[in-house]
Amino acid sequence: MEFNRKLILEDGQEYYGYGFGADEEKVCELVFNTSMVGYQEILSDPSYTYQAIVMSYPLIGNYGMADDDYESETPTAGALITHEYNDLPSNFRSTETLSEVMKRYSIPGVCGIDTRKLVRSIRDFGSRKVLITGVSTDKEKGLEILKNTSIPTDAVEKVSCRNIWRSKVMLNPGDGRLHYGKKKHVVAIDCGMKKNIVLSLNNLGIDVTIVPWNTSAEEIRNLRPDGIFISNGPGDPTDVVPTIETVRKLIGSYPIFGICLGHQIISLAYGAKTYKLKFGHRGGNHPVKNLETGRIEITSQNHSYAVDEESMKNTPLKVTHMNILDNTVEGVSCERDKVFSVQYHPESAPGPQDSRYLFDKFLKSITGTVPMSLN
């Protein structure tokens, strides 16, 4: 079988392979993920908008796609790149193949390439633009397309909800999830929020009202929340100025918890700065040290940007978590304002329960029953 699709990187590298999913030409940011499982959750994570994901684990597609495992209703990943693609899933929960889903959502795939070499290239030279195209595309033409095509900066606007919606908890008498009597109400600012985050909050007996990324502080106050949650999402955090301004106005009025992009937005709202990592953190095996307890958590991560620790010195924020691999900031807090955040994803069950305490901590900060420093 002859190659029918290829990748052209902006530094001139080419990788030939076989197409699956949508037969489309796209320019994306090239990134890699080290997870061994979870390709459905990865593909449907809104944080991968406009990105071509290289899976370092070689075999992808073998357990198909299950209706209950999507992290968003409409996957927006740019492309998926694998070493080996399996189109005959054997899992009893599978209702479709990965390729069928990718065709429906216009996501091209390329398999049959040396993903080990490609991942090393990303690690050595950083994330770059890539053109997913047919084998007949001339290299010089491809480089011209890459040169003249910019990655859009509207990723959060693209994936955020358009209207306010609610996820309420129906509790039976004696339900163990309701630990503090009356149900609590949290407003979650949707910057590309994963479904499992809403579920994690509901499982603690919290009603969640989800609002679009550009909702004003006044509109949020009118919803009378007990706490505020800032979600994960794609792209450069400095692109979401309306969200940063909203969070700045809400600080001190409510307990606030942020995850991933939400962590960066909180830091920016306090006056800290962010920067882009060489190749980002993406996978389910990143070790993070909790500086308050000394414990090491195995975490799930997906981000290109990090908070600049030096820039935090003139803010009331303190670092609570650090990445053991590269010493980047993984968590911050301001006890005075009842605000805290983490760069990783506690809802993704890495470890598998290493980071679940963070949701309990948020609930406890809302109820006021314990100090914010409890873990």
Angle between helices 261-269 and 241-250 in degrees, nearest 10: 60
Question: What single-letter amino acid sits at 109?
Answer: G
210 strand-pairing partners: 165, 188
Half-sphere exposure of 8 (CA within 13 A, CB side): 20
The pLDDT value recorded for residue 172 is: 55
> Which one, of 56, 169, 63, lies nearest residue 121 by Cα?
56
Q: If we measure between CA atoms, which residue out of 253, 241, 248, 291 comes closest to residue 266?
A: 248
pLDDT of 139: 97
* Residues 258 and 266 sit within 8 Å (Cβ to Cβ): yes
- Over the chain, what is the mean pLDDT? 94
C-alpha to C-alpha distance for 22 and 26, rounded to whole angstroms: 10
Catalytic residues: 260, 345, 347
Structural contact between residues 284 and 348, judged by C-beta atoms closer than 8 angstroms: yes
pLDDT at 374: 37
What confidence score (pLDDT) does residue 356 get? 87
Taking only the tens of pLDDT, the chain with its 375 residues reads: 899 999 999 999 999 999 999 999 999 999 999 999 999 999 999 999 999 999 999 999 999 999 999 999 999 999 999 999 999 999 999 999 999 999 999 999 999 999 999 999 999 999 999 999 999 999 999 999 999 999 999 999 999 999 999 998 875 544 545 444 578 999 999 999 999 999 999 999 999 999 999 999 999 999 999 999 999 999 999 999 999 999 999 999 999 999 999 999 999 999 999 999 999 999 998 999 999 999 999 999 999 999 999 999 999 999 999 999 999 999 999 999 999 999 999 997 766 678 889 999 999 999 876 434 333
Tens of pLDDT, residues 345-369: 999 776 667 888 999 999 999 987 6
**168 CB neighbour count, 10 Å cutoff:** 12
Q: Which of 43, 30, 281, 221 minimizes the C-alpha distance to 132?
A: 30
Q: H or E element: which one contains 221?
A: helix 217-222
pLDDT in tens, 34-88: 999 999 999 999 999 999 999 999 999 999 999 999 999 999 999 999 999 999 9
| Strand duo 227-230 + 256-259: pairing | parallel
Q: Is there a contact between 319 and 332 (Cβ–Cβ < 8 Å)?
A: yes
Residue 352 is predicted with a pLDDT of 67
Domains and CATH numbers, the chain: 5-149 (3.50.30.20), 157-367 (3.40.50.880)
pLDDT, position 349? 72
pLDDT of residue 375: 39
The amino acid occupying position 60 is I
pTM reported for the whole predicted model: 0.94
**CA–CA separation, 36 and 201 (whole Å):** 27
CA distance 64 to 66: 7
